[in-house]
């Protein structure tokens, strides 16, 4: 078990690797200790930093997160923390980010977030997916590019999760076969959209308020996809305020009957939760499959 002295030495080594010089670590505060990463705010003689680290050996997790944050920052439409460094030290993977101080949201916070996200989704690409794989939660997310959205959504999103759940005995062969039949009706249900740059894991816990009261995106699972997937995801786990959706639609209108497609898109994040947390997330998936079969 690590002592407090070990932890200080770890952070001092991390900052030497990050800044190229000795840095005095004065204090660190635990912000979150999840089932994947530990997050801390580290106070040094050169300022405050945000550090994530783990010993779980999720290969390439922080490098992929750093690249994803970089893509979002390059779009320059919404605040995203700056990546300082990532690496491995003393048997622990780490990611060092700019520290963003939280404050009270400005009065038009939700409208700003809606407009910012619409601007992010205008960033396009010549294919769906991404040039590298990344993670959603603790699960690897495979992003091999594909010129056809429906093929990408079925192969790299829905069937990847259904197959993993079946392999781990979380769903039956009967339910896995039902997924296969469901894929055949999707061409009649889902519209085409140009590839849009997506945060990829956009729920309320991955949007924070910065020191000016503006929205800031964290913990992405970036790829290029149909923007409807992202808007659908925001309705899970409490959802966002109506002002967000109104501002988004005003800036970048969605195709008609989007609300009827939300449950279809949300099969993906729900199956991610099935594979991470268990079968309590299956009922809404079953309701959607049964509705269309």
Active site residue 210: no
Q: Which residue has the tokens 């076969």?
A: 177
Q: Give the residue from 194, 182, 202 showing the smallest Cα distance to 148.
A: 194
- Is 68 within 8 Å of 81 (Cβ atoms)? no
Q: Which helix (H) or strand (E) holds 11?
A: helix 4-19
Whole-angstrom distance, CA of residue 120 vs CA of residue 3: 43
- Is 161 within 8 Å of 121 (Cβ atoms)? no
- Is 94 within 8 Å of 52 (Cβ atoms)? yes
Whole-angstrom distance, CA of residue 84 vs CA of residue 19: 8
CA angle 162, 168, 172 (to 5 degrees): 60
Catalytic residue among 22, 169, 201, 219: 201
- Roughly how many angstroms between the first and final C-alpha of the chain, as a whole number? 53
CA neighbours within 13 Å on the CB side: how many for 187? 4
CA 238 to chain centre: 16
Catalytic residues: 201
């Amino acid at each position: 078990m690590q002592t407090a002295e070990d932890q200080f030495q770890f952070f001092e080594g991390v900052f030497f690797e990050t800044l190229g010089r000795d840095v005095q670590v004065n204090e660190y505060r635990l912000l979150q200790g999840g089932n994947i990463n530990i997050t801390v705010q580290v106070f040094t003689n050169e300022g405050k930093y945000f550090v994530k680290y783990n010993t779980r050996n999720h290969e390439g997790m922080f490098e992929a997160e750093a690249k994803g944050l970089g893509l979002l920052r390059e779009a320059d439409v919404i605040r995203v923390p700056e990546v300082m460094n990532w690496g491995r030290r003393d048997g622990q993977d780490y990611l060092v980010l700019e520290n963003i101080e939280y404050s009270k949201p400005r009065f038009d916070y939700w409208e700003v977030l809606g407009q910012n996200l619409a601007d992010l989704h205008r960033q396009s690409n010549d294919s769906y997916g991404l040039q590298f794989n990344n993670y959603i939660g603790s699960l690897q997310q495979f992003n091999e590019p594909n010129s056809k959205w429906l093929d990408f959504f079925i192969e790299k999103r829905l069937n990847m999760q259904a197959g993993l759940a079946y392999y781990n005995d979380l769903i039956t062969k009967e339910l896995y076969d039902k997924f296969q039949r469901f894929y055949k009706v999707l061409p009649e249900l889902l519209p085409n959209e140009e590839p849009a740059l997506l945060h990829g894991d956009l729920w309320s816990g991955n949007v924070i308020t910065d020191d000016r009261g503006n929205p800031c995106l964290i913990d992405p699972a970036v790829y290029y996809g149909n923007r409807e997937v992202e808007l659908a995801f925001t309705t899970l786990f409490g959802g966002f305020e109506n002002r967000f959706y109104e501002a988004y639609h005003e800036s970048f209108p969605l195709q008609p009957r989007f609300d009827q497609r939300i449950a279809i898109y949300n099969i993906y994040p729900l199956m991610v939760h099935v594979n991470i947390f268990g079968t309590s997330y299956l009922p809404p998936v079953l309701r959607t499959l049964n509705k269309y079969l």
